[in-house]
Structure 1
Amino acid sequence: MKSIGFFNNKGGVGKTTLLCNVAASLAIQYSKKVLVIDADPQCNASAYLLGEDELENIFLNTDFYSIDSFFDPVRRGQGYPQQMPEIVRSQRFNVDLIVGSPKLSIREDLLATDWAATRNGEHRGFQTTYVFKELISRLDAYDIILIDMGPSLGALNRAVILGVDTFLMPLSVDIFSMMAVENIIKSFNNWKLALSDAIQKYKDEEGNEFKISDKPVKWDLDFAGYVMQQYRAKSKGGVREPVAAFERIISKQKDELV
């Protein structure tokens, strides 16, 4: 099983649309068993993959065990729950889905607070920080898991990034998308350094390593690559002419990505 986060610090780059159509292609054209996890509180992937009636029935069903519900025992310091978020089927895209929840935005405070505990090497902090890794580790019946993420560099997306195997970055050709790449590099470097110290503190405090599925946690994130939107270019005599300003941005983005 491979888990892939679709992430950029800038919104409006086609991230959700790309994810949903890649998921459908992998399922329909390549016969892969695909699960989409909507980890964006805006729930755009859920709205894209399901009909309005399906979504309404899910959100009005008080017994529906959502992705947000998975956090409740963790919040209470009771550890990870045995029950898994409910999985629904997108008939249109031929993939399974863990529906998003606007309540995930509220979990940001929990994840941010317990990140301090993680950095101190505390067990509770590690449990909270690695909640998505625990969730994903239980889904090995799938070939590929694609996780939709919001454009934030906050605690929620940090927990997702620490849970996935790799991430893919959709990009647009503009100066703000280039600045977002710089933000991601800085944040990831800071998280990696903080986690390295935290893991050592945990070992010193607990006398062993924090494990998910019997594997010690560590920073082992891979970069799957990027997908860049094409800009509209003028054509002269049927030939597409490059736009100098956009080409400069593309060149700088590529340098940052390397």
Structure 2
Amino acid sequence: MNGYHADPADDSVVGDRPAEDLRNRTSIALFDNCRGVRKTTLTYHLAHMFRRLGMTVLAVDLDPQANLTAMCLDETEIEELWDNESELIAQGAASSALPGTGRVNTGQTIADAVRPVLEGTGDVAPIEPAQLQPGLWLLAGSLDLSRFEDKLSNEWFKTFAGDIAAIRTTTAFHRVVEQAADLVGADIVLIDVGPNLGAINRAALIAADSVLMPLAADLFSLKGLSNLGPTLRGWRRDWQQLVLPRVREGFSAPRAEMRPLGYVIMQPEMRLDRPLKAYERWLQRIPWVYSAAVLGERVPVCADDRYRIATLRNYRSLMPLALDARKPMFDLKAADGALGSTQKYVQTCYREFRDLAEGVLARVRQLGTE
């Protein structure tokens, strides 16, 4: 694939937009029903790498823990976003001005966007994404978003009867993301969601065209896959068969395609108490569980690993430097502390994430032709 800049140390030039790769905008949710697989780190780095490949990227933080927002913005910026206590909690009691500025903070997080829906006072409020770099934008998350969980849970089954208010609630994330993506002209939308099968994640995932799963080679990821696959298929079936036929014409509702793109193996830090043999044992079981649970194949083949897009190493020595420098690991320079052999490690990191991003685009193209 052409268009990426070959030098990971030089971030001044972005490659030509690879229009041949994505004919239309696509949205990808990064999701695994298991904690500790570095999902948000993967989302953050993929967003930056897609930008390096010449695409306009919108990263969306739909995890109520707001970890992606914390990686993208510094504390001062987050404080400004959250300073106007969202009415999800304060219900109008908080001041709408930033202290000492007299400037009105209209609220620019996902929680602020869905507040009118939560309170029953209106539809989603348009919010402006934060521009992180040219071609890279963030729809910021908020801890307040957790207040939307009960509302989404209560409305889900009402959508089956065509309840307009329930459909408006359940599609809130889809429409907020759609408005923001249109505003910035995004080619690709990356959605970071929490590690559970709750109502917030259901609403986030039905808004996604496809799902990319970061996995660890261990029992917890395998068990998470076993739960996740049937649940996604059930949500897709219910939405497409029971809800979409009842959506009024002209209303923007997601297709809930949630097509499985494949998975990325996130290598652990090898320890003496977790030998390589144990890692390999779990690794060999992932293809079977993925094809059986996620894809619903009747006769899965254990050795069929074609759905693994990449294997990423731990990079534990680079991550602290990247967090301090507030940049991706593959953009670290000598001034950031990446000296000597560490700079070679940075270049390896760049190549792996570039290959991963290209692999994801290839899978999107492939699914588009099936």
Q: Which residue of 1 aligns with 2:301?
A: none
TM-score (norm: length of structure 1): 0.84
- Secondary structure of the corresponding residue to residue 110 of structure 2: coil
Give 4+ residue runs of structure 1 displaced > 6 Å after superposition: none
Q: CA deviation at 1:89?
A: 2.1
Q: CA deviation at 1:79?
A: 5.2
Q: Which residue of 2 aligns with 1:73?
A: 116
Q: Distance in 1 between matches of 2:78 and 2:122?
A: 29
Q: Distance in 1 between matches of 2:28 and 2:173?
A: 12
Does residue 124 in structure 1 map to residue 157 in structure 2? no
- Alignment-mate amino acid for residue 253 of structure 1: I
TM-score (norm: length of structure 2): 0.60
Distance 1:18 1:218, change over 3 A: closer
Q: CA deviation at 1:162?
A: 0.7
Give the number of the structure whose residues are more often strand, by fraction. 1
Q: Which residue of 2 aligns with 1:237?
A: none
Q: Distance in 2 between matches of 1:99 and 1:231?
A: 29
Q: Distance in 2 between matches of 1:195 and 1:104?
A: 23
Structure showing greater relative contact order (alpha-carbon pairs closer than 8 Å, 6 or more residues apart)? 1
Match of 1:98 among 116, 121, 139: 139
Q: Distance in 1 between matches of 2:250 and 2:208?
A: 15
Provide Cα deviations, 1:63-93, integer angstroms capped at 9, x if missing partner: 2322112222323445533x412311224x9
**Are the counterparts in 2 of residues 20 and 45 from structure 1 also a CA contact under 8 Å?**
yes
Q: Distance in 2 between matches of 1:40 and 1:114?
A: 20
Does residue 225 in structure 1 map to residue 262 in structure 2? yes
Q: Which residue of 2 aligns with 1:26?
A: 50
Structure 2 residue runs without a partner (length 5+): 1-24, 85-95, 97-104, 292-370
Provide Cα deviations, 1:159-190, integer angstroms capped at 9, x if missing partner: 01111111111111110111000110121132
Q: Distance in 1 between matches of 2:256 and 2:64?
A: 25
Match of 1:182 among 198, 222, 226: 226
**Are the counterparts in 2 of residues 64 and 86 from structure 1 also a CA contact under 8 Å?**
no
Match of 1:64 among 90, 106, 117: 106
**Are the counterparts in 1 of residues 174 and 254 from structure 2 also a CA contact under 8 Å?**
no
Q: Distance in 1 between matches of 2:57 and 2:41?
A: 16
Q: Distance in 1 between matches of 2:256 and 2:77?
A: 38
Match of 1:53 among 76, 94, 109: 76
Q: CA deviation at 1:250?
A: 1.4
**Are the counterparts in 1 of residues 218 and 282 from structure 2 also a CA contact under 8 Å?**
yes
Q: CA deviation at 1:157?
A: 0.4
Does residue 35 in structure 1 map to residue 58 in structure 2? yes
**Are the counterparts in 1 of residues 29 and 210 from structure 2 also a CA contact under 8 Å?**
yes
Does residue 252 in structure 1 map to residue 285 in structure 2? yes
Provide Cα deviations, 1:134-161, integer angstroms capped at 9, x if missing partner: 1222223111111111101000000011
Higher deviation after alignment, 157-166 or 220-229 = 220-229
Match of 2:128 among 78, 86, 89: 86
Q: Distance in 1 between matches of 2:232 and 2:258?
A: 10
Q: CA deviation at 1:232?
A: 4.7
The size of the alignment, in residue pairs, is 242
Structure 1 residue runs without a partner (length 5+): 235-241
**Are the counterparts in 1 of residues 60 and 192 from structure 2 also a CA contact under 8 Å?**
yes
Distance 1:155 1:243, change over 3 A: same
Tell me which structure has the larger Cα radius of gyration. 2
Q: Which residue of 1 aligns with 2:39?
A: 15
**Are the counterparts in 1 of residues 205 and 256 from structure 2 also a CA contact under 8 Å?**
no
- Alignment-mate amino acid for residue 264 of structure 2: V
Distance 1:58 1:73, change over 3 A: closer
Higher deviation after alignment, 66-75 or 173-182 = 66-75
- Alignment-mate amino acid for residue 154 of structure 1: G
Q: Distance in 2 between matches of 1:179 and 1:210?
A: 40
Q: Distance in 1 between matches of 2:191 and 2:255?
A: 20
- Alignment-mate amino acid for residue 287 of structure 2: K
